[in-house]
Amino acid sequence: MSSLDSIRYYENIKDMSRVRAMAETVMNNPKVRKITAAEAYEMAKKQAGVFETDLVIYPPYAEQLGLPKGSKVLNDCHGKIVGRTAKARRFYNKLNQDDKDKVEGDVREALFQMEQYPLIKAEAVLGQDPDLMIKATFVTTESDVMNVFNWLCNFTPIEVFEKEYKNSKEIPVVDIILVAFNEWTCDDPFYNNVGAPQLALVDELNNVIFNFGMRYFGERKKGTLTLGWTSGMRLGMAACHGGIKEIDFTTCAEEKYHELGKRSIAFFGLSGTGKSSHTNSHTNGDTLPKGFKKVVLHDDAFQIDLEEKICRAWEPTLFDKTDSRPIGHSDWDYAISLMNHSIINIDGKNIPVGQDLRQANGRALLERAMLGDVVNRCSFPKALCWLMKDTVLPPILKFTNKHLAIAMGAALITKRNKAENVSAEDLKKLAFEPFANPFRVYDLWKDVEAFLAIADNGADFYSFNSQGLWKKSDTDLEAIKLQTSLTLQTGILLDQLEWEDWDMLPGAMIPTKESVDKILPGFYDKYNTATRENMDEYKELLKSRFQQRIDFLKNTDIATKPEMLEELINALQVKV
């Protein structure tokens, strides 16, 4: 077996947390019925709010799940909340003892309420590689069965991976337990309340998470995945909320490319920064040489094994926004399940509409086969790229100072998006999301340490500006088209770019005029930061942005590692 059940994991059973003991108790209640993916699907079709469309589930995946041939995609509308709710999170191991005692009592009360309902559970495997597999159990009410089906599709039902899991490498990680209860009632102001209470209680040390009063599937997915990432970190691996692909140049038609071998490139950014576009683009906008072969590990989550120098995938499917997928788009052929979509009738058939017609953040579970050839492990990354919405940065930077490279990831600037269930005012503000991972439940300095180790193992670090570069002001921008960024990505992979110092930020480099203009004529002059209009204002904003990065890092737990903090801050000094 891979991960361990409680009795094998805890040398002293008293080391188990009380919330883990509560989760174990409800999970092992014989009245809780275990169901398969096929049973969850049949139950979900009858669930209120779930709509059976006339779109057929990707046939190979439906067969794997044991569904009847021709089974249709289901659409589940979650209500008011259609995104993740950070304000609902409470981190059990960071609570003081009084708050722990309070939360434990409230969880016991919630579970008492929950057990008045018919309960079900399902088992899945996190991890697609036999050397990194964790068993997970999801316990919930029958009224939440659509989320059970989606959860099983997002990971892998244990009955599908039974042989692989049984033969997988045993790792010192305890099995994951997720408990959800949508009908929770509580009027305590200690918890987030949007007309009804919400709680996402995380006990990362004991691999348990509770979702109370939260219907949105993303809470189930990211909560479970967070525990997987954290488990990987304990094994000495780097947790990556990003996409990664591997290009094999040995098959190119022109022999001059063969010496490049296989190269992996990874992208880190939140929704809307281009992470999936960079990872999933089949040809980088027709800029890759003919005859190459590409495989994708994943576009959202993976783990870097620093000891074996490989990357491993957690999930077999993609959980994608569908705002750019109109009716008839080829991606619908790979659909498994939908959330929060409008359904319209076309010639007697109920067809889902993407493009966020009903509300923001419509989502779909899609088979990875949509990306072409996929793998469960790939080579150590040659390049890692931060995708930032920062208007003072050139379209691309290469970092020669590893502390600057990691500081830029640790203080990654972005803007909030509607997938995160924040206010309209917050959507306008700049935000920091270290390493583009809002699901970290351990100290940030541990991620800094892990990514410094990646740099020490030979990876190069870059940043891409995915918003636009100051032209006359912070709102009057020189657009940076996706095709431009994809061409620059190819430039990295093919070693087409030569680099010169960016004089405004020591340790950062920009492409030379001669090398970049060969692949993007006029690029150098168009994006030359020395020729911005209203230069004094531009420089002031540049200084402000980097000072914001410094201030942010000073106020994180990295401050408990003074030497590490000093190296990061020293690297963030601009010269203007």
DSSP codes of every residue in 527-551: T-GGG-SSHHHHHHHHHHHHHHHHH
CA angle (399 as vertex; 395, 401 as ends), nearest 5: 155
Question: Residue 384 domain-assigned?
Answer: yes
Question: Residue 91 domain-assigned?
Answer: yes
Answer whether 129's CB lies under 8 Å from 136's CB.
no
Q: Does one domain contain both 206 and 279?
A: no
Q: Average pLDDT for residues 86-112, to the nearest whole number?
A: 97
pLDDT at 1: 63
pLDDT at 66 over 80: yes
Q: Average pLDDT for residues 76-92, to the nearest whole number?
A: 94
Q: 393 burial class (0-12, 13-18, 19+ CB within 10 angstroms)?
A: buried
Domain boundary among 205, 237, 269: 237
Answer whether 565's CB lies under 8 Å from 553's CB.
yes
Q: Average pLDDT for residues 168-177, to the nearest whole number?
A: 97
Backbone conformation region of residue 135, classed left if phi is above 0, alpha if psi is from -120 to 50, else beta = beta
Q: Does one domain contain both 465 and 509?
A: yes
pLDDT bucket at 271, cuts 50 / 70 / 90: confident
**Least confident residue range of 7-11, 426-430, 452-456, 465-469:** 426-430
Question: Residue 452 domain-assigned?
Answer: yes
Q: Does one domain contain both 259 and 192?
A: no
Question: Residue 312 domain-assigned?
Answer: no
Amino acid present at 25: T
Number of domains in the chain: 3
pLDDT at 22: 98
Rounded CA-CA distance 132/169 in Å is: 7
Q: What phi and psi values does residue 264 have, to the nearest 5 degrees?
A: -100, 145
Q: Average pLDDT for residues 158-163, to the nearest whole number?
A: 95
Tokens of 294: 């590409």
Q: Give me the CATH number covering residue 99.
A: 3.40.449
If we measure between CA atoms, which residue out of 226, 196, 222, 201 comes closest to residue 211? 201
Q: Does one domain contain both 80 and 93?
A: yes
If we measure between CA atoms, which residue out of 331, 327, 163, 126 comes closest to residue 239? 126
Q: Does one domain contain both 192 and 100?
A: yes
Domain boundary among 211, 237, 263: 237
pLDDT at 237: 97
Question: Residue 90 domain-assigned?
Answer: yes
Q: Does one domain contain both 44 and 26?
A: yes
- pLDDT above 90 coverage of the chain, percent: 94
Amino acid present at 570: N
Residues 465-514: pLDDT tens digits?
999 999 999 999 999 999 999 999 999 999 999 999 999 999 999 999 99
Amino acid present at 476: D
pLDDT at 181: 98
What stretch of H or E contains 366? strand 363-367
Question: Residue 394 domain-assigned?
Answer: yes
How much is the pTM? 0.93
pLDDT at 45 over 60: yes
Q: Does one domain contain both 288 and 429?
A: yes
User: Whole domain around residue 322: which residue ranges?
Assistant: 317-371
What stretch of H or E contains 566? helix 562-571
Rounded CA-CA distance 492/498 in Å is: 9
If we measure between CA atoms, which residue out of 235, 172, 261, 240 comes closest to residue 454? 240
pLDDT at 24: 98
In whole angstroms, how far apart are CA 381 and each of 51, 129, 265, 460? 41, 17, 5, 8
Tokens of 377: 């492990």
pLDDT bucket at 414, cuts 50 / 70 / 90: confident
Rounded CA-CA distance 283/299 in Å is: 16
Q: Which long-range contacts (CB under 8 A, 24 or more apart) does 184-192 make?
A: 184/110, 184/113, 184/114, 184/212, 184/213, 185/113, 186/106, 186/109, 186/110, 186/212, 186/213, 188/106, 190/99, 190/102, 191/88, 191/90, 191/106, 192/85, 192/87, 192/88
Q: Does one domain contain both 337 and 407?
A: no
Question: Residue 304 domain-assigned?
Answer: no
Q: Does one domain contain both 48 and 184?
A: yes
Q: Give me the CATH number covering residue 421.
A: 3.90.228.20
DSSP state of 333: G
Amino acid present at 436: A
Contacts of 540 (CB under 8 A, 6+ apart): none
Mean pLDDT for all residues in the chain: 95
pLDDT at 136 over 80: yes
DSSP state of 147: H
Answer whether 43's CB lies under 8 Å from 147's CB.
no
Rounded CA-CA distance 302/314 in Å is: 6
Q: Which residue has the tokens 């991620």?
A: 447
Count of C-beta atoms within a 10 Å radius of residue 343: 18
Answer whether 120's CB lies under 8 Å from 147's CB.
no
If we measure between CA atoms, which residue out of 263, 236, 235, 238 comes closest to residue 248? 263
3 state DSSP class of 157: strand
Count of C-beta atoms within a 10 Å radius of residue 473: 14
Rounded CA-CA distance 136/117 in Å is: 22
pLDDT at 416 over 90: no
Rounded CA-CA distance 37/513 in Å is: 56
In whole angstroms, how far apart are CA 317 and each of 155, 245, 309, 366? 7, 15, 24, 6
**Least confident residue range of 420-429, 451-460, 521-530:** 420-429
Question: Residue 307 domain-assigned?
Answer: no
Q: Average pLDDT for residues 101-127, to the nearest whole number?
A: 98
3 state DSSP class of 450: helix
Tokens of 431: 């935000």
Comparing 324 with 574, the larger pLDDT belongs to 574
Rounded CA-CA distance 132/305 in Å is: 10
Q: Which residue has the tokens 């044991």?
A: 66
By residue count, the chain amounts to: 576
Q: Does one domain contain both 231 and 266?
A: no
pLDDT at 290: 97
- pLDDT above 70 coverage of the chain, percent: 97
pLDDT at 270: 83
Q: Does one domain contain both 200 and 59?
A: yes
Q: Does one domain contain both 255 and 281?
A: yes
pLDDT at 428: 53
Longest dimension (CA), the chain: 71
Answer whether 232's CB lies under 8 Å from 204's CB.
no
Domain boundary among 237, 262, 290: 237
pLDDT at 155: 97
3 state DSSP class of 177: strand
Answer whether 348's CB lies under 8 Å from 369's CB.
no
Residues 419-451: pLDDT tens digits?
556 666 665 567 899 999 999 999 999 999 999
